[in-house]
A and B are shown apart, each in its own frame.
Chain A
């Protein structure tokens, strides 16, 4: 087999994995605090459109003086804030008002898709057609890779030739892994997710932890949407651009067994499965079969973890139930 097809396939899998990885990491952080936020898709849409707006208006006013790094930086900040706003709304409803987590998450999805497409439409109207990043910004988000390392045969293409958001996503996963497993605050957060009443008893502010985890987690999801609009689509608003990737991220959380390190491999695997058909088509196998594979793999992983009864790789115990101190 041609080695090019394998490296190209891996490259495309990683590019497809990046928005998924952000969505998955954000949702892992949220669920570790005992909240299931099914609104990943909505928060990604909000991040996609509001992140793009920040870059678009900066470029609109900066004109030829646009500095690509500032445009991307603003997109990162506002994409994060937009997702965080989604997570914050979720927290207000579920933590303070103790609304049902599943219903709130689904409502947030519908809300976020609407807000995302509305803002995207307003941007397109403002641009009289399609928005588009300036050349300076396109250069910053292009797959330029790491100098020298990218020239290594095969490995250079597979590991060192991506855009900077790919590496940012992987650093984010490593940071989250360190935070959850090696820091006191991370331990506290996991305690809140497993047993909020116990955590409360030892003096951990459950409400504060839940608010922060869902909001920061939402912000990370928002970055996933921002990657789609700013990096993959080069600053062009495309209607419905997230197109269900947020739901795949929710499935990936289960597949990754709530572990950021496994999320990296899971995201690349799911990214690869989503483009598998384009590289390795089999005669007589309908495309729909390929589309089923990621979800079948998720169910398989879920069954496997439940058979093994491993406490390490199970969903945080308190997920789905709201904490109400007076009900202890």
Chain B
């Protein structure tokens, strides 16, 4: 028995060595020798508490699903909840997970990247995976540091179809978190989805300048309805936009969570991310010693982005079929969401810029398309296109 085990261990060691030597440009993968299904430890740095009913709840669900997908024990998952974004706290949380012997560590917030990349340099044998960030493709990033996200814009496009078919005023309202690419790509995809089935639709956007502020989200939703919007969508954490829509007789598109219980007559559906798809892939790669790409972003095709809680009682007739057709186009015909001669509100070609304001892409004609979230996992689309009105 001991011999068999020894041989198995040696074989595994060899495999790990081969994997380590497999120095491909996309970055390293599982490299720690001797990692097995039974001894692997997985750490996750969560930005919020489990009870947030939104982002952290959803990310924790992804981790738990990953554990059951791979047949691991729950005690192999070491979560650190409510770490926040304070750099000292984040570094401490990551280091605690290192000391607990984690072989792979996930961090869930954009802000965690800067600390995680530093720890990753000191700990080359541990695999680090950072959600929503955009550092893994930079020269500074070590090979054991990875970014992951989901092509949520594809799911938002589908949700936009439901909104475009439902609206009677032809005005949509969007409660938006921050004015940058992750949010802009989301609401533009949502708007383009609506536009694909309703050429008369326009959209009003108000930022809350945080990921969540329940009373403000509600006030913003109320204001959007006053401005004529009859479908409210959101990229913010809480269910208060759904509640406002319910109270004022509008329809609603959620995020992160099925909000039908909070707003039975308003909530039509919610685009959502299934984090378990990546987490399962990444943890399995560490166990198998196979490489993990520096940037990972999948969408509807693998189920990493999906829509949930379609409320048949209130969506417009034909919504289901229209969504299915678009989903099929995206998955099987590789339809791009950001395509065609997109223009800004002044009639100029829409332009995508990088952090420094340099133009990295321009929609010059009808054949233009931007392949969002393919080279980097974090979204890049940040043009404000015609038909979308930013109020504040």
Which A residues fall within an 8 A CB radius of B? Answer: 8, 12, 16, 117-118, 120-121, 124, 127-130, 132, 138, 142, 228, 232-234, 236, 238-241, 243, 245, 274-275, 277-279, 281, 287-288, 291
Contact = CB atoms under 8 A, between A and B. Distances in A.
Nearest to B247: A234
B392 A287 contact: yes
A274 B209 CA distance: 13
B215 A277 contact: no
A120 B50 CA distance: 12
Given A121-B51, A278-B391, A238 B219 contact: no
A236 B262 contact: yes
A30 B261 CA distance: 39
Contact of B218 (A232, A239, A245, A291): A232
Contacts of A121: 51
Given A234-B243, A238-B238, A278 B49 contact: no
B218 A278 contact: no
Interface string B188-219: 00000000000000000011010011111011
Contact of A238 (B209, B223, B240, B261): B240
Given A129-B258, A238-B214, A12 B219 contact: yes
A128 B53 CA distance: 11
17 contacts: A120-B51, A129-B261, A130-B53, A130-B259, A130-B261, A228-B215, A232-B243, A238-B239, A238-B240, A238-B243, A239-B237, A241-B240, A243-B214, A278-B219, A278-B220, A281-B392, A287-B207
A203 to B, nearest CB: 46
Interface residues of B, number: 33
Contacts of A16: 215, 219
- Chain A CB count within 10 A is highest, among B54, B213, B392, for B392
Nearest to A5: B226
A251 B119 CA distance: 41
A15 B251 CA distance: 22
B86 interface: no
Contact of B53 (A8, A239, A277): A239
A263 to B, nearest CB: 19
Given A16-B219, A120-B51, A240-B52, A278 B243 contact: no
B222 interface: yes
B222 A12 contact: yes
- Chain B CB count within 10 A is highest, among A228, A234, A245, for A234
B214 A281 contact: no
B239 A130 contact: yes
A138 B261 CA distance: 14
B223 A279 contact: yes
Interface in B254-285: 258-259, 261-262, 264
Nearest to B210: A243
Contacts of B301: none
Given A132-B261, A238-B238, A239-B53, A278 B206 contact: yes
Nearest to B267: A130
B246 interface: yes
A241 B51 CA distance: 12
Given A8-B226, A278-B391, A240 B214 contact: yes
B239 A236 contact: yes
A239 B238 contact: yes
Contacts of A287: 207, 209, 392
B53 A124 contact: yes
A115 B262 CA distance: 22
A241 B216 CA distance: 10
B147 to A, nearest CB: 27
